[in-house]
Every structure is written in C-alpha cells, then in structure tokens.
Chains A and B, each alone.
Chain A
Amino acid sequence: DQQVKQNSPSLSVQEGRISILNCDYTNSMFDYFLWYKKYPAEGPTFLISISSIKDKNEDGRFTVFLNKSAKHLSLHIVPSQPGDSAVYFCAAASNDYKLSFGAGTTVTVRA
C-alpha cells in the first residue's frame, strides 16, 4: 500500500528554468513532509521539509508547497542548475519519525 506517490518518474528541464516535482499522499495522519535528493551510489540527503501547520517553506532556490485539503505537495527548484540532476524523493511522517517514501522522480537538468 503506497501511501506516498510520485507519479512522474522523470523530469527534464533546461538550466535556469523552474523544476516542479509533485507528490500526493493518502494517509491523513501524516503531519510532516520532506524532500530528499539522491545521487547514484550515495544515500538520500535531506533537502527541505514542511510541517502540516504551514503551506509553504522556502530555502534558497528550493520551495515546498503543501495543500492539505488535496493531500498534495510540490517542490519548486528555481533556477535549476546542472548539479540539481538527481533523484528526488518525497517522504512523509506522522507522530513518530518513520518515513514513508514515494518512488522518486529523476530530474535531468539540460545545459
């Protein structure tokens, strides 16, 4: 039972443009949402998070938006850079710290 879904397996974007990654969840008990970035042969690296009491969190080029009523969140990267090419995982947690992950979206930034 996949409680966190990333329906786009891949995304290709030109350098300097905006990357938008989407994520949907089904479990209403989730109250904390995270994005992780993963390069090949490395572990996932925490990128940005948002609590369910907020609808937006920004950190430099990265912004996460949360729409609780739609059970949807998105990650915006602007401007996209070649170093952003990686797999991005959406994750969610409830009152414990267990993370439920989506399947990931592979982002390719074209020069």
Chain B
Amino acid sequence: DAGVIQSPRHEVTEMGQEVTLRCKPISGHDYLFWYRQTMMRGLELLIYFNNNVPIDDSGMPEDRFSAKMPNASFSTLKIQPSEPRDSAVYFCASTTQNPEAFFGQGTRLTVV
C-alpha cells in the first residue's frame, strides 16, 4: 500500500480564496483524522471520521472550515474563505481499530 496520500503537498493562496485539501486513506482503514500543525499550537486534531461519518469536529476552529468523506477512500478539508492565520501544515491520518495512526506527508498551506 502506498500509505496515506495527501494532495497538494504545497498550496499558496490569497486571503479570501477557497482552499481544498485532499486525502486518500490506507485501504481498509475505517478511521480518518485531520490534524493541523502550527508553531503556536503544535499538532491538534481538527476532525475525525469513522466509517465515513464525522464523529467529532470539536477541533474545527471556525465555520470557515468544513470536512467531508464521501466514500471510504477519499476525504476533503475545505477552508472558505481562507485567512493568513490558517497557514499551517495539515496532516491526514488513518487507522483501523487501534490508535496507531498512519500519517500522510502533509499539505503545507500558506495564505498570503
């Protein structure tokens, strides 16, 4: 398996634009997580899904953030409109029936 695949690896966008981050979890994994890494807050959980259903979105910072998982092999994290403070590295991770999650390589988002 190729592991968790995220795209794009880097994204630079202007403030106010919509940004969509994509994730393909490892086949067979039924849990998918979105994390964000910043200097100020470290690695923090934004939202997670189980069997494509959002279970806990309490970490989503604002209504500008939304996440979907239309099927077992694809998830998106959307920011609309984006702001400079959204600049961070966003990680997607997946697992099945244990906490040892596998992480993707991340998307480095820069909002200017």
Contacts and interface: CB of A to CB of B under 8 A. Distances in A.
Given A43-B103, A98-B48, A99-B35, 9 more contacts: A34-B100, A41-B106, A44-B103, A96-B55, A97-B33, A99-B45, A99-B99, A100-B45, A103-B42
Contacts of B44: 101
Given A42-B105, A97-B98, A89 B48 contact: no
Contacts of A45: 103
Given A49-B100, A89-B43, A93-B99, A98 B105 contact: no
Interface in B35-86: 35, 42-45, 48, 55-56
Interface residues of B, number: 23
A97 B95 contact: yes
Contacts of B106: 41-43
A11 B48 CA distance: 32
B25 interface: no
A69 to B, nearest CB: 22
Contacts of A103: 42
A96 B103 CA distance: 17
B101 interface: yes
Nearest to B42: A103
Given A43-B105, A46-B100, A49-B99, A101 B42 contact: yes
Given A101-B42, A102-B42, A44 B100 contact: no
B91 A43 contact: yes
A65 interface: no
Contacts of A34: 99-100
